[in-house]
């Protein structure tokens, strides 16, 4: 496969490289999205079990803003 790719013109190789890199970026984004979904499910399960309390959005944002100051 490598030898076939090297036979392509520079323009074709550049396009192939771009497509391959974009496919890696997409995979990473999908993995990150799945991690966030898993975390949301974990937090919901903990809330349903009573392990963690609920907070209002304004309270959560206030704490977040305080942390970045």
- Note whether 5 and 19 are within 8 A (CB): no
The predicted pLDDT at position 51 comes to: 95
Tell the residue number behind the tokens 């979904």, with chain if given: 37
Question: Quick one: tokens of 50?
Answer: 């009573």
- Average pLDDT rounded to a whole number, residues 43-64: 93
Q: Model-level pTM?
A: 0.51
Query: What whole-number distance in Å separates Cα of residue 63 and Cα of residue 41?
Result: 22
At 69, is the pLDDT very low, low, confident or very high (cuts 50, 70, 90)? confident
- Residues 51-60, mean pLDDT to the nearest whole number: 92
């Amino acid at each position: 496969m490598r030898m076939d790719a090297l036979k392509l013109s520079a323009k074709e190789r550049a396009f192939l490289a771009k497509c391959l890199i974009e496919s890696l970026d997409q995979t990473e984004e999908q993995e990150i999205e799945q991690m966030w979904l898993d975390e949301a499910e974990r937090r919901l399960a903990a809330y349903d079990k009573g392990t963690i309390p609920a907070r209002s959005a304004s309270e959560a944002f206030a704490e977040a803003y305080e942390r970045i100051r």
